[in-house]
Amino acid sequence: MLKSLFFLLSLYLCVLGFQNPIKASDGSDPFMVYHEGYYYLTTTTWNNIQLTRATTIAGLKAAQPKVIWTDSTSSRCCNMWAPEIHWQDKEGSWYIYYSAGSSGTLDNQRLHVLKGSSNIIWDSNWSFAGRIVIPNRDVWSIDGTIMILDSTRYLVYSSWDGSDQCLWIAQMNSATTVGNAVKISTPTLPWERVDSNVNEGPAAIYHGGRTWIVYSASGCAGTGYKLGRLELTGSNPLSASSWTKYANPIFVGANGNNEPGHNGFFQSPSGNQIWNVYHASSSVPSTCDGKRYTMIQQVNWNADGTPNLGSPRPLSDNMPEPV
Ligand SMILES: *[C@@H]1O[C@H](CO)[C@@H](O)[C@H](O)[C@H]1NC(C)=O
């Protein structure tokens, strides 16, 4: 009796659905993962790392975030950006990858890692697991994400090369150590060079045996922020020539949701759907701050097997819960 009541209730909640945004402020650089009955959401809040969790997207909108990390160590106290939660199979632990640096400047941003103490994300106490030192270029680095290919793991992140902020890849030797980095994308196309020359916020997506890196292009302040993509078309991900950039962006502003970007991908509870979580701004030009809100929508697939992210849907849309 109780069981069927719960079933009916969850069915009702699914039909009811939700409306974007799912986080109305401090929704920048979002990342989500679904694990053991809960969605987990993290975003950039600058001074700390916060997690929010709930069993439904509608529930996530109402849930209180929990601060899981602050740090007074001067080299990584501040500008905490773009946390991502990743399970590392070899270590059998959850890790949070994030960017941070020192007070009063953005020039010292580096990649850092926290380790969870429990297999349940929410129950974890988080401890500092290390800074990711890139052997061949220990310089400004942000937006680390994990790409997994045939059970080999790679770190993909963003770092400057001259006046271009580029994407780089390195093979991981452990959850916190990597080999030398190789540059796989430079902002060369006009739509990657609006306000500033930027490729950042990489996110891997896999489908039908193919792998893409979706990334954010152009300056986050201004009118040009959007998503582009690379596809792994060669065999060695550590070779720049293995990556092919698509000539056109894959996701641009629409319906009052401007400068959409810095996305992540997460699987629905059944594992049968992939959803895009990203931030957008109501203002033009947009600003690189906490006014950006978090949105989600389902990823579809084109007849040729490529991802179709659509365009940012109106905030007035009632969307069904992921299934
Ligand atoms: C987290 O830390 C508290 C306080 O030390 C401890 O009681 C608890 O068992 C820890 N939880 C996990 C899952 O490690």
pLDDT, mean of each 10-residue run, the chain (323 residues)? 63 74 98 98 98 98 97 98 98 98 98 98 98 98 98 98 98 98 98 98 98 98 98 98 98 98 98 98 96 98 98 97 97
Atom of ligand 1 nearest to the CA of 120: 13
Cis amide bond preceding 21, omega within 30: yes
| Residue 117 beta carbon below 6 angstroms from any ligand 1 atom | yes
Tokens of 140: 């400004």
| Residue 123 beta carbon below 6 angstroms from any ligand 1 atom | yes
Catalytic residue among 29, 164, 192, 259: 29
Compute how many other C-beta atoms are within 10 angstroms of the C-beta atom of residue 301. Answer: 12
| Residue 118 beta carbon below 6 angstroms from any ligand 1 atom | yes
Question: Rounded to the nearest whole angstrom, what is the distance from the C-alpha of residue 136 to the centroid of ligand 1?
Answer: 38
For ligand 1, atom 5, which residue shows the shortest CA distance? 125
- SS3 state at 323: coil
Q: Burial, 109: exposed, middle or buried (Cβ in 10 Å; 0-12, 13-18, 19+)?
A: buried
**200 noted as active-site residue:** yes
> In which region does residue 8 sit, left (phi positive, over 0), alpha (psi from -120 to 50) or beta (all else)?
alpha
d(CA 76, CA 19): 36
Q: Burial, 156: exposed, middle or buried (Cβ in 10 Å; 0-12, 13-18, 19+)?
A: buried
Question: Rounded to the nearest whole angstrom, what is the distance from the C-alpha of residue 76 to the centroid of ligand 1?
Answer: 24
For ligand 1, atom 4, which residue shows the shortest CA distance? 125
| Residue 127 beta carbon below 6 angstroms from any ligand 1 atom | no
For ligand 1, atom 3, which residue shows the shortest CA distance? 125
With the most atoms of ligand 1 within 8 angstroms of its CB, the residue from 68, 94, 117, 123 to mutate is 117
> Strand pairing of 49-54 and 66-69?
antiparallel
**321 noted as active-site residue:** no
Compute how many other C-beta atoms are within 10 angstroms of the C-beta atom of residue 268. Answer: 15
pLDDT the model gives residue 16: 73
For ligand 1, atom 6, which residue shows the shortest CA distance? 125
Catalytic residue among 26, 143, 164, 200: 200
Question: Rounded to the nearest whole angstrom, what is the distance from the C-alpha of residue 278 to the centroid of ligand 1?
Answer: 32
Q: How far is CA 65 from CA 41, 55, 60, 62, 289, in A?
A: 9, 14, 9, 9, 18
d(CA 279, CA 263): 7
| Residue 125 beta carbon below 6 angstroms from any ligand 1 atom | yes
Decide if 119 contacts 38 (C-beta within 8 A). Answer: no
Decide if 196 contacts 165 (C-beta within 8 A). Answer: yes
Domains present along the chain, CATH in parentheses: 27-308 (2.115.10.20)
Say which residues have a Cβ less than 8 Å from residue 302's Cβ, sequence separation at least 6. Answer: 308
Would you say the C-alpha torsion 86, 177, 126, 104 has a positive or negative sign?
Answer: negative
DSSP 140-191: --EEEEEEEETTEEEEEEEEEETTEEEEEEEEBSSSS-B---EEEE---SGG
Q: Burial, 315: exposed, middle or buried (Cβ in 10 Å; 0-12, 13-18, 19+)?
A: middle
pLDDT the model gives residue 14: 55
Question: Rounded to the nearest whole angstrom, what is the distance from the C-alpha of residue 296 to the centroid of ligand 1?
Answer: 33
| Residue 75 beta carbon below 6 angstroms from any ligand 1 atom | no
